[in-house]
C-alpha cells in the first residue's frame, strides 16, 4: 500500500464511489486520494472507467453512491464550476478545444471564473512563453491547428484557471512519438511549479516513470494501488500493461 | 448530414438526376428572367418581351420604382434578419428549431398595439411626446418578448433537455399554437390596428438629389425613402450591431459560443450552461421584440397569426444564411427581403407572369428550395459538427 502518512489533507478524494450510466455500473467502490503537489497516475485498459473517474471528480458525472471530497468538504451536489473555482481542472480526452473559437478565446475561457485582469494577462504571457507556437497562432481558429499545437492550447487553457490539481486524460494520445517525450517533459515542468497532477495514461511505462504513485483500474475496480516504483516492478502489471510475457 | 449532394464516386440514381434537373432548371429560370429584365429595360418591345407580354411589350421599371423596391426589401429583410437571429442562436446552443419564435415576435407586435392605443388615449401618441412614447413602447415590447422567450425555455424546453431533438421541435410547434390561441382568447381573432402614427413618420420621405421629373410632373429623386422604412433599417442595424458586439466581444457572448460548441467542456470552464441557454433565449427574444415593433411601424396592424409568415420567412433566412451562423442570419434576412421585393419584377415579370407581386411568398420558398438544392449548409454555413446534427 502506498504511503499516505504526513501528507496533510488530500485535495481530492473518492470515498466508496459508485458511478452508473443508466443501469450500467461503471465505477465500483472506488477509493482514492490526491495530495497537494504530487503526481499520480491512473492506469487501466479501454473502457475500464478512467475517463469516468475524472468526470466524476469534476462533477461532470454524478456518482450514485459515495462521496467526492474536495479539501475535506463533500462536494457531491456542487456543480463543476464550484470545483473549478477551487482549483481543479482537466485537460480532457482528445483535447476538446472549442474549434470555432480562436486560440486566444480558448485560453480566455480557461480563465472564465477569474476576475483578476492583471493575473490573467500575466498567466497568458507565461503560457505564450511556454509555447511560442501558441502565441503565433493566437488569432487563428483553434480547429485549424495541428494535433500537437492543439495539445499545447489544451494545456494552456487548463493552466489559465490556475489549478492546484490538473487532471489529464490521455495527454499523449494521438501525438507523434517525439512529441510524446516533449509532452511528458512539459507535464513534469508544470508539476515542478507545484501543481498536483492526476494523469490517465495508456502508456504505463512512461506515466509511471514520472509519477509518484499509481492506481490500476480494471472494469471499474481499483485492483492495484501502490508507489510508481513498486508498480513498475509488479510482474502482473508488466504482463498486462507493458506487454511483457 | 442533410445534403442533397451525392457522395463522390457513387453512381447517379434517378433521384440524383431529378435533383440535377431541379437545380439547373431553377437557376436557368432565374438567369433567363434576369436577362429578359435587362433586355426589356433596354427595349421594352424586344422579341422576348413581345413573345411573353404581347405586342405592346413589357413595362420598363423606372429608377424611382426600383429604388423603392430596394428600400422596401431592405426594411422587411432587416426585420426578417432580426427574427432569424433568434432561430439561429437557439439552434446553435440546443440544436433544434424553435418554431414558437415567430409567436414571440407576434406578441411583441401586440404589445406595441396595446401601448400605442394606451398612449393615444393619453394624448401622447400624436403629439410632441411621440418620440418618448415610441421609445418606451420599444422597450416594453422588448422586455415582454424577452420574458415570453425565457418562460418558454423554462417551462417547455428545459424539461426536455437531453431528449432527442425531434421532441423539443414538436413541442415548439405546440407552444406556437398555444401562444396564438392564448392571444386570440385575450384579444379576439380580429386584426388590431395601431393608433395612427404621426405623418412625419408614416407619410413623409427623405428625398436626396432630384434627378428629373416623371411624365406627370412628379419630381424623381436618386433616393427617396419613407421615414418609417429608414427608421426600421436604422433600428435593425443598430440592434444587429449590438448583438454582434455582445456575441463576439463580451465574456457572456464567448460563453454562449462555447456552449453552442461543446456543453460539457463549457461547464468544465466553469460556465453555467443552463444560465447561458436562458441568456440565448432572452437575447433572441429581445431581437424578436424589436422586430415586432418594426412590424407595427411598417404595417400598422397585428393579428394572432402575424407571427406565422414572418416567422417562417425568418426561419428561411436563417437556413439561407446557414443555421447557427449569426452573420449568415442577418445576411440571409436582408437578401431574402431583397429577393422578395425585387424578384417579382426582375425575374417573374420578364417571363410574362401575371400579377407577379402576388407571388412574393412563393419567391421566398423557391429561394429556400434553391439553397437546399445547391448549398444545403446555407450560404455562409460551415459544415455542421459531428455532434449528432442531422
Ligand atoms: N455518457 C455515457 N453514457 C453511457 N455509457 C458511457 C458514457 N460514457 C462512457 N460510457 C461507458 O462507460 C464505460 C467506461 O468508459 P470510460 O470512458 O470511463 O472508459 P476509459 O477507461 O476512459 O476508456 P478509454 O481508455 O477507451 O478512454 C465504457 O464502457 C463506456 O462505453
Ligand atoms: Mg477515456
pLDDT recorded at residue B286: 97
pLDDT digits (tens, 9 = 90+) for B21-30: 999 999 999 9
Locus of grid cell 473518492: A14
Pocket test for ligand 1, best of A18, A26, A43 (most atoms within 8 A of CB): A26
Q: How far is the CA of A199 from the centre of ligand 1 (A)?
A: 17
Backbone angles phi, psi at B307, to 5 degrees: -70, -20
Contact between chains at A105 and B271 (C-beta distance less than 8 A)? no
DSSP H/E element including A113: none
pLDDT recorded at residue B389: 39
Overall average pLDDT of the B205-215 stretch = 83
B238 pLDDT more than 90: yes
Closest protein CA for atom 10 of ligand 1:
A21
Backbone angles phi, psi at A3, to 5 degrees: -90, 110
Task: Give me the half-sphere count of Cα atoms (radius 13 Å) on the Cβ side of residue B301.
Answer: 7
d(CA B204, CA B206): 7
All structural domains of chain B: 65-389 (1.10.3470)
pLDDT recorded at residue B60: 86
d(CA A99, CA A106): 9
Contact between chains at A96 and B265 (C-beta distance less than 8 A)? yes
ipTM of the complex: 0.91
Q: How far is the CA of A98 from the centre of ligand 1 (A)?
A: 22
Locus of grid cell 457531491: A76
Contact between chains at B262 and A84 (C-beta distance less than 8 A)? no
Residue A52 and residue A61 in contact, taking contact as beta carbons nearer than 8 Å: yes
- % of chain B with per-residue pLDDT over 90: 65
d(CA B33, CA B351): 6
pLDDT recorded at residue A243: 57
Instruction: Fill in the DSSP letter of residue A142.
Output: G
* Nearest to A88, CA basis, from A66, A120, A60, A129: A60
Pocket test for ligand 1, best of A21, A92, A171 (most atoms within 8 A of CB): A21
pLDDT recorded at residue B375: 84
Q: How far is CA B59 from CA B54, B233, B263, B352, in A?
A: 11, 29, 57, 11
- Confidence class of residue B218 from pLDDT cuts 50, 70 and 90? confident
Instruction: Fill in the DSSP letter of residue A97.
Output: -
pLDDT digits (tens, 9 = 90+) for B272-300: 999 999 999 999 999 999 999 999 999 99
pLDDT recorded at residue B12: 81
**Vertex B138: Cα angle to B134 and B142 (nearest 5):** 165
Q: For each successive 10 residues of chain A (245 residues), what is the average pLDDT?
A: 64 93 93 93 90 94 94 93 93 94 96 94 94 92 91 94 94 86 90 94 86 91 89 80 57
d(CA B80, CA B14): 36
Q: Across the interface, which of A60, A108, A109 has its CB nearest the CB of B264?
A: A60
B247 to chain A, minimum CA–CA distance in Å? Answer: 12
* Ligand 1: nearest atom to the Cα of A53: 18
Locus of grid cell 408614416: B202
* Ligand 1: nearest atom to the Cα of A220: 14
CA nearest A56 in B: which residue? B268
DSSP H/E element including B13: none
DSSP H/E element including A72: none
pLDDT recorded at residue A242: 60
Those residues whose C-beta lies under 8 Å from the C-beta of residue B114, and which sit 6 or more positions away, are none
Q: Which stretches of chain B are assigned E, i.e. beta strand?
A: 192-193, 205-213, 219-226, 301-302
Total beta-carbon pairs less than 8 A apart between chain A and chain B? 57
d(CA A207, CA A231): 11
HEC string of B328-375? Answer: HHHHHHHHHHHHHHHHHHHHHHHHCCCCHHHHHHHHHHHHHHHHHHHC
Those residues whose C-beta lies under 8 Å from the C-beta of residue B187, and which sit 6 or more positions away, are B110, B304
Q: How far is the CA of A21 from the centre of ligand 1 (A)?
A: 9
Task: Give me the half-sphere count of Cα atoms (radius 13 Å) on the Cβ side of residue A93.
Answer: 12
pLDDT recorded at residue B111: 96
**Residues lining ligand 1, judged by CB closer than 6 Å?**
A 21, 26, 44, 46-52, 93
Hey, where are the domains in chain A? Answer: 97-156
B174 to chain A, minimum CA–CA distance in Å? Answer: 30
Q: Which stretches of chain A are assigned E, i.e. beta strand?
A: 12-21, 24-34, 39-44, 65-70, 73-74, 88-91, 165-169, 196-201, 213-218, 221-227
On average, the pLDDT of chain B sits at: 90
* Ligand 1: nearest atom to the Cα of A24: 5
Q: Across the interface, which of A80, A99, A108 has its CB nearest the CB of B268?
A: A80
Cell numbers at B162, concatenated: 437531453
Residues of B with CB under 8 A from a CB of A: 251, 254-255, 257-258, 261-262, 264-272, 382
A137 to chain B, minimum CA–CA distance in Å? Answer: 19
Q: How far is CA B241 from CA B222, B234, B279, B368, in A?
A: 27, 11, 18, 26
Residue B83 and residue B102 in contact, taking contact as beta carbons nearer than 8 Å: yes
Sign of the dihedral defined by the CA atoms of residues B165, B170, B171, B176, in that order: positive
Q: How far is the CA of B159 from the centre of ligand 2 (A)?
A: 29
- Confidence class of residue B388 from pLDDT cuts 50, 70 and 90? very low
CA nearest A162 in B: which residue? B269
- Confidence class of residue B357 from pLDDT cuts 50, 70 and 90? confident
d(CA B364, CA A100): 30
DSSP string of B157-176, one letter each residue: IGGGTTS-THHHHHHHHHHH
pLDDT recorded at residue B355: 85
**Vertex B116: Cα angle to B110 and B121 (nearest 5):** 130
B157 pLDDT more than 50: yes
Contact between chains at B268 and A60 (C-beta distance less than 8 A)? yes
Residue A241 and residue A204 in contact, taking contact as beta carbons nearer than 8 Å: yes
Overall average pLDDT of the B156-184 stretch = 94
Q: How far is the CA of A199 from the centre of ligand 2 (A)?
A: 11
Contact between chains at B267 and A60 (C-beta distance less than 8 A)? yes
B-chain CB neighbours of A84 within 8 Å are 268-270
pLDDT recorded at residue B190: 93
Start-to-end C-alpha separation, chain B: 5
d(CA A87, CA A89): 7
Buried b (16+ CB within 10 A) or exposed e, B159-188: ebeeeebeebeebbeebbeebbeebeeeee
Q: Across the interface, which of A58, A110, A112 has its CB nearest the CB of B255?
A: A112
d(CA B38, CA B346): 8
Amino acid at each position: 500500500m502506498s504511503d499516505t502518512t504526513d501528507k496533510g489533507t488530500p485535495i481530492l478524494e473518492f470515498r466508496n464511489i459508485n458511478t452508473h450510466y443508466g443501469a450500467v455500473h461503471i465505477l465500483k467502490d472506488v477509493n482514492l486520494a490526491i495530495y497537494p503537489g504530487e503526481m499520480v497516475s491512473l492506469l487501466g485498459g479501454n473502457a475500464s472507467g478512467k475517463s469516468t473517474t475524472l468526470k466524476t471528480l469534476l462533477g461532470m458525472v454524478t456518482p450514485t453512491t459515495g462521496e467526492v471530497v474536495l479539501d475535506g468538504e463533500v462536494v457531491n451536489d456542487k456543480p463543476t464550476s464550484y470545483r473549478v473555482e477551487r482549483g481543479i481542472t482537466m485537460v480532457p480526452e482528445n483535447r476538446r478545444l472549442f474549434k470555432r473559437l480562436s486560440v486566444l478565446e480558448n485560453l480566455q475561457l480557461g480563465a472564465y471564473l477569474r476576475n483578476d485582469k492583471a493575473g490573467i494577462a500575466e498567466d497568458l504571457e507565461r503560457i505564450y512563453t511556454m509555447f511560442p507556437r501558441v502565441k503565433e497562432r493566437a488569432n487563428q481558429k483553434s480547429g485549424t491547428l495541428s494535433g500537437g499545437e492543439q495539445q499545447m492550447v489544451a494545456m494552456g487553457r487548463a493552466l489559465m484557471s490556475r489549478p492546484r490539481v490538473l487532471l489529464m486524460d490521455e495527454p499523449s494520445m494521438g501525438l507523434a512519438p517525439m512529441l510524446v517525450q516533449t509532452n511528458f517533459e512539459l507535464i513534469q515542468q508544470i508539476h515542478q511549479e507545484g501543481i498536483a497532477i492526476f494523469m490517465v495514461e495508456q502508456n504505463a511505462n512512461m506515466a509511471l516513470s514520472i509519477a509518484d504513485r499509481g492506481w490500476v483500474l480494471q472494469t471499474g475496480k481499483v485492483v492495484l494501488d501502490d508507489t510508481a516504483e513498486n508498480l513498475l516492478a509488479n510482474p502482473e502489471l508488466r504482463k498486462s500493461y507493458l506487454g511483457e510475457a | 448530414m442533410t445534403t442533397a449532394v451525392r457522395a463522390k464516386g457513387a453512381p447517379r440514381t434517378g433521384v440524383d438526376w431529378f435533383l440535377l434537373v431541379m437545380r439547373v432548371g431553377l437557376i436557368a429560370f432565374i438567369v433567363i428572367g434576369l436577362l429578359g429584365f435587362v433586355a426589356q429595360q433596354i427595349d421594352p418591345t424586344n422579341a422576348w418581351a413581345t413573345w411573353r407580354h404581347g405586342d405592346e411589350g413589357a413595362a420598363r421599371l423606372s429608377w424611382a420604382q426600383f429604388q423603392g423596391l430596394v428600400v422596401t426589401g431592405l426594411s422587411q429583410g432587416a426585420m426578417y434578419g432580426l427574427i432569424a437571429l433568434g432561430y439561429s442562436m437557439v439552434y446553435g446552443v440546443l440544436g433544434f428549431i424553435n418554431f414558437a419564435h415567430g409567436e414571440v415576435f407576434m406578441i411583441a407586435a401586440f404589445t406595441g398595439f396595446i401601448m400605442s392605443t394606451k398612449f393615444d388615449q393619453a394624448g401622447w401618441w400624436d403629439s410632441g411626446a411621440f418620440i418618448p412614447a415610441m421609445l418606451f413602447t420599444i422597450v416594453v415590447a422588448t422586455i415582454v418578448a424577452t420574458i415570453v422567450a425565457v418562460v418558454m425555455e423554462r417551462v417547455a424546453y428545459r424539461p426536455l433537455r437531453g431528449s432527442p431533438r425531434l421532441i423539443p421541435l414538436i413541442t415548439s410547434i405546440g407552444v406556437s399554437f398555444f401562444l396564438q390561441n392564448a392571444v386570440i382568447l385575450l384579444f379576439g381573432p380580429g386584426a388590431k390596428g395601431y393608433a395612427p402614427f404621426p405623418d412625419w413618420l408614416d407619410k413623409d420621405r427623405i428625398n436626396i438629389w432630384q434627378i428629373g421629373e416623371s411624365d406627370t410632373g412628379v419630381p424623381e429623386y436618386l433616393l427617396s425613402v419613407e421615414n418609417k422604412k429608414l427608421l426600421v433599417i436604422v433600428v435593425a442595424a443598430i440592434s444587429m450591431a449590438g448583438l454582434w458586439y455582445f456575441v463576439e466581444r463580451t465574456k457572456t457572448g464567448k460563453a454562449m459560443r462555447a456552449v453552442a460548441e461543446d456543453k460539457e467542456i463549457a461547464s468544465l470552464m466553469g460556465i453555467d450552461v443552463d444560465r447561458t441557454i436562458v441568456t440565448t433565449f432572452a437575447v433572441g427574444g429581445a431581437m424578436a421584440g424589436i422586430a415586432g415593433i418594426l412590424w407595427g411601424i411598417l404595417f400598422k396592424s397585428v393579428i394572432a397569426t402575424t407571427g406565422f409568415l414572418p416567422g417562417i420567412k425568418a426561419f428561411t433566412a436563417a437556413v439561407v444564411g446557414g443555421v447557427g451562423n449569426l452573420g449568415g442570419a442577418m445576411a440571409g434576412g436582408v437578401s431574402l427581403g431583397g429577393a422578395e421585393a425585387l424578384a417579382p419584377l426582375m425575374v417573374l415579370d420578364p417571363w410574362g407572369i401575371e400579377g407577379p407581386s402576388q407571388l412574393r411568398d412563393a419567391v421566398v420558398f423557391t429561394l429556400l428550395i434553391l439553397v437546399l438544392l445547391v448549398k444545403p449548409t446555407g450560404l455562409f454555413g460551415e459544415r455542421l459538427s459531428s455532434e449528432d446534427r442531422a
